[in-house]
Structure 1
Amino acid sequence: MGVQVLFHGCLDDFLPPAGRGQPIMPPTLRRTSLKDLVESLGVPHTEIAALTLNDCPATFETLVEPLGGDHVMVRAWPPSAQSVEHTLQPPRPRPARFVLDVHLGRLARYLRLLGFDVCWRNDFGDAELADMSALQSRILLTRDRRLLYRRQIVHGYFVRSDDPGRQVEEVCHRYGLHDEIAAFKRCARCNGLLVKVDKASVAGRLEARTLLYYNDFYKCARCRHVYWQGSHFARISAWVETLKQQVA
């Protein structure tokens, strides 16, 4: 039996350049599920929105039988594909909530700045990340594609760019986050919510020039870090507005 697999759209990102845009013929030596088949070729199941087997809708549990002489064509589409009718991906959590791997610390800070609930530590293990994603309905963002092979992960995305600024744009586009941005309500350091406080209550923690020029202050309810709209505020606000105006 000949088996061919064709990945459409941005799923090509996971393939060697020479294998993009054309069917791949994997060595199918045993009975296998479509999930195991596509992941053996380097494409995580969390990146795939639809599968067909000989042009019939299929699921990740659909089996490919190695016996017999029939030709088998498997096609896979990403969530962005306009032709996807029977999506394998359930609706994402709303509002969006995230857990990020250890390599995405700056992205975590940027997403928190935009108001999103983001779990990140520099010592997360793979099993802990997968469990948090599954048990807390969080979208797992990672630069490790093999982490996304774990079966319990329903919502996950392999971040392509290695530039934190581009990563934010990428994630906002992938999940259509532009309407959910509510900037400056979370602590970029720890993810806690910010609350407005009286100037007098934090005066002892601030420099004299800060007290002279600023009157509005906010404190993280979790780590107690103090924020105010300093000289960087206009630049960050302009960046936030640019993100919100982008078409998802």
Structure 2
Amino acid sequence: MVTASFRFYEELNDFLAPARRRREFTVRCARAATTKHMIEALGVPHTEVELILLNGESVGFGALLREGDRVAVYPRFEAFDITPLLRVRDQPLREPRFVADCHLGSLARLLRMMGFDTLYEKAFADAEIERIAATQGRIVLTRDRDLLKRRSITHGCYVHALRPQLQLREVLERLQLARGARPFTLCPACNAVLQPVAEARVEHRLPPGVRGLYHRFGTCDACGRVFWEGEHWQRLRALVDAPR
């Protein structure tokens, strides 16, 4: 056994036992323990970590811990560029695509409304989510920290908020996605691409209160639904654009 000291920063403290939050603490580790093993043993999913300093030097998840080591663990940085220091993953995902767990169906729908490719099925098991994330290069969205600890999941986001609209803002802010939003391009119901369509072609399928009031429409070839850019999209845009 070896003894090492840990200090976690900012929102990573939410995963720790109360007595260990926002302070340095010492724990006993297995002799062959890595930084990843101990970080997750303390309750923090590796997907939440952006930078690890071992005795002041940036290291990866595979660094072995030795007697007396001091480990500082940081979440995603927004104030400055730490790219030259990164050791925990090879590269970010350039085009963010998501897979959401069974608790985040409403969030998945809102992300699709903002134009972000998001897979969701209530029946998805954890193993299936892990497979999809690994084979399709998707970011896992979940409120289950154990899911984010699975070995092959390299990009994930633990969602803290409980209400769907607040969850959307949290994900957009944390991953800095607002500029990449493309509202009214994906089907909220099934994630397929919406096809623009003239009002005259779908007028017979519209509720009476919609006819003549909205003028931008889209159809989904996959599920057959018709959508219009109404108040629901406008409220969503206002939520994203609201002052922080």
TM-score (norm 2): 0.89
| Per-residue Cα deviation, 1:35-89 (whole angstroms, up to 9, x for no partner) | 1111000001111111122222221011124xxxx41211111112757451224
Per-residue deviation, 1:94: 2.7
Per-residue deviation, 1:27: 2.6
| 2:7/2:73 contact within 8 Å kept | yes
- Aligned pair 1:154/2:154, yes or no? yes
Rate the CA distance shift 1:227–1:5 in 2: closer, same or farther, 3 A. Answer: same
Q: For 2:59, give the aligned amino acid.
A: A
Per-residue deviation, 1:221: 2.2
Per-residue deviation, 1:92: 3.0
Aligned to 1:205: 205
Aligned to 1:164: 164
Q: How many residues align?
A: 240
Q: For 1:186, give the aligned amino acid.
A: L
| 2:96/2:139 contact within 8 Å kept | yes
Q: Greater shift after overlay, 214-223 or 139-148? A: 214-223
Identify which of 64, 71, 75 aligns with 2:68.
71
Distance 1:133 1:210 in 2: 38
| 1:9/1:81 contact within 8 Å kept | no
Aligned to 1:219: 219
Q: Greater shift after overlay, 96-105 or 189-198? A: 189-198
Distance 1:33 1:160 in 2: 27
SS at match of 1:27: strand
Aligned to 1:52: 53
Percent of residue pairs bearing the same amino acid type: 35
- Unmatched segments (≥5 aa) in structure 1: none
SS at match of 1:26: strand
Rate the CA distance shift 1:206–1:12 in 2: closer, same or farther, 3 A. Answer: same
Q: CA RMSD in A?
A: 2.2
Within-5 A mapping of 1:95-134? 95-134=95-134
- Aligned pair 1:176/2:176, yes or no? yes
Distance 1:138 1:54 in 2: 33
Per-residue deviation, 1:90: 4.2
